[in-house]
C-alpha cells in the first residue's frame, strides 16, 4: 500500500451521536441528512451507510451525479432528494430514478410534468434567501397543478444569527406551503433545528452539525468532533535569531528556535487562513503555525515538543469552531476543502 503522509480519522460514533441529537431536537419531525459535496468532504457513501443504519431515512444531495453513489445504499422506503432540481441533461437519468428532483423554477416544473407525469417530486419555495426556489406567487399560481408533491421546502438565510428574518421566513413558508398539497414540509437546516420546534415542520435537513460543526450556541456541548487531521513531519530544524520562514518572510524568529515542517498545505485543505494563526498538537504540546501555509507544506514552532522528530505525526487543531476562529474560515469551508491526499479511516 502506498504511504500517505496525511491522515484523516473519522469518528463514526460521533457522526451517529450528532444525528441522534439533531433527531431528538427535531421533535415529532423526521430528521434527514444532507450528504452533498461528498458528505461535506468526509465521504458520502460511508456517511450515508452509517446514518441509514442509525435510522435516517431522508437524504439530500445537490446533483444527479452525486445521486449515483448514494442510491444503492438506501433501503426500500428511504428517500433521496436532488436539491438542484432537474436540467434537460438530467432527464434520461431522472425519469427512471427513485430519487426525487427538488423543482426550483417554472421551467423545471414544466420539464418534470412532461418527462415524468405522475412521478413524485419535491418543491423549493424561496422565502427570502434569494437563491433557488419558486416565489410564493409562482407556487400559488396554478403552475403546480398536476404535480405529485412529496415535500415542500424552503431554506433559512440567517438561522445562525438571532434575526427577525428567521421568524419572517418561517411564517412566509407556512403561509405559502399551506396552499399546496404535499406530504411534508421542510424548512430547518442544522441552525434552524437549534431555533426550536416551530421551525421543524415535518422534516429537518441538517448538514453541518452532523459533521461536527456548531451552527449556534444551543448546539455547544452536544455536537461532537467527527474529523481529525494529522500530518507527518518532513523535517525538523533549528533556526537562528532573525531567520525567516515561508513565502514573503512573514515570520521572523525573535530568538533561536526549532521548527517542524509538516506534510500538509492548502492543496490538502489546510488553507492559507491558518497562516500565523493555526496550530498543531503533539501530545500536550501546542505548536503554533509559523509563517504562511504553502501548497504542500506548513511550518510550526516545535520548541514545546523536544521529542518531535522527522517522521513523527502531529494533529492539526481541527475542532471546527476552534479552527474557524483561528483561521477566519467558515466551518463549512474547513470541511468541504479537505483534500484527497489524506488517508481516510473510519472508526
In angstroms, rounded to a whole number, what is the distance separating the alpha carbons of residues 204 and 192?
8
Q: Is 112 helix (H, G, I), strand (E, B) or coil?
A: helix
Sheet holding 100-103, edge to edge: 30-31, 203-204, 184-186, 148-153, 120-124, 100-103, 79-82, 58-61, 33-34
Long-range contacts of 137-146 (CB under 8 A, 24+ apart): 138/106, 139/176, 139/179, 139/180, 140/176, 140/179, 140/180, 143/106, 143/109, 144/109, 144/180, 146/113, 146/117
- DSSP letters, 169-234, are HHHHHHHHHTTS--SEEE---HHHHHH-GGGTTTEE---GGGGT---SGGGTTTSPP-EEEEEEEE
Phi/psi at 320 (5° precision):
-60, -45
Among residues 113, 211, 237, 247, the one annotated as catalytic is: 247
Among residues 36, 40, 270, 318, the one annotated as catalytic is: 36
Exposure on the CB side of residue 20, measured as CA atoms within 13 A: 11
Phi/psi at 343 (5° precision):
-80, 115
Q: Which residue has the cell 453513489?
A: 69
Assess contact for 225 and 320: CB atoms under 8 A.
Answer: yes
Active site residue 113: no
In angstroms, rounded to a whole number, what is the distance separating the alpha carbons of residues 314 and 310?
11
Active site residue 36: yes
Grid cell in block for residue 308 = 518531535
Assess contact for 314 and 326: CB atoms under 8 A.
Answer: no
Q: Which positions are annotated as active-site residues?
A: 36, 247
Amino acid at each position: 500500500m502506498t504511504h500517505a503522509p496525511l491522515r484523516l480519522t473519522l469518528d463514526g460514533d460521533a457522526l451517529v451521536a450528532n444525528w441522534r441529537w439533531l433527531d431528538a431536537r427535531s421533535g415529532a419531525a423526521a430528521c434527514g441528512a444532507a450528504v452533498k459535496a461528498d458528505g461535506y468532504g468526509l465521504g458520502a457513501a460511508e456517511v450515508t451507510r452509517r446514518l441509514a443504519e442509525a435510522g435516517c431515512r431522508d437524504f439530500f444531495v445537490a446533483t444527479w451525479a452525486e445521486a449515483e453513489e448514494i442510491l444503492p445504499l438506501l433501503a426500500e422506503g428511504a428517500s433521496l432528494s436532488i436539491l438542484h432540481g432537474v436540467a434537460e441533461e438530467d432527464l434520461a437519468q431522472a425519469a427512471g430514478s427513485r430519487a426525487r428532483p427538488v423543482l426550483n423554477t417554472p421551467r423545471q416544473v414544466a420539464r418534470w410534468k412532461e418527462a415524468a407525469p405522475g412521478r413524485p417530486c419535491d418543491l423549493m419555495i424561496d422565502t427570502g434567501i434569494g437563491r433557488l426556489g419558486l416565489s410564493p406567487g409562482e407556487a400559488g399560481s396554478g403552475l403546480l397543478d398536476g404535480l405529485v408533491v412529496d415535500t415542500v421546502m424552503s431554506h433559512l438565510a440567517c438561522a445562525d444569527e438571532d434575526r427577525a428574518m428567521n421568524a419572517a421566513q418561517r411564517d412566509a413558508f407556512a403561509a405559502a406551503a399551506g396552499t399546496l398539497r404535499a406530504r411534508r414540509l421542510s424548512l430547518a437546516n442544522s441552525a434552524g433545528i437549534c431555533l426550536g420546534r416551530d421551525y421543524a415542520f415535518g422534516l429537518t435537513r441538517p448538514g453541518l452539525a452532523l459533521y461536527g460543526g456548531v451552527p449556534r450556541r444551543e448546539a455547544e456541548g452536544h455536537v461532537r468532533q467527527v474529523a481529525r487531521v494529522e500530518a507527518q513531519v518532513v523535517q525538523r530544524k533549528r533556526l537562528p535569531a532573525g531567520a525567516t520562514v515561508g513565502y514573503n518572510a512573514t515570520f521572523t524568529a525573535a530568538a533561536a528556535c526549532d521548527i517542524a515542517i509538516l506534510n500538509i498545505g492548502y492543496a490538502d485543505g489546510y488553507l492559507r487562513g491558518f497562516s500565523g494563526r493555526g496550530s498543531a498538537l503533539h501530545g500536550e504540546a501546542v505548536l503554533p503555525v509559523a509563517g504562511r501555509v504553502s501548497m504542500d507544506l506548513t511550518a510550526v514552532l516545535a520548541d514545546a515538543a523536544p521529542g518531535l522528530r522527522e517522521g513523527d505525526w502531529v494533529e492539526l487543531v481541527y475542532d471546527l469552531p476552534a479552527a474557524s476562529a483561528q483561521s477566519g474560515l467558515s466551518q463549512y469551508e474547513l470541511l468541504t476543502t479537505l483534500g484527497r491526499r489524506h488517508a481516510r479511516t473510519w472508526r
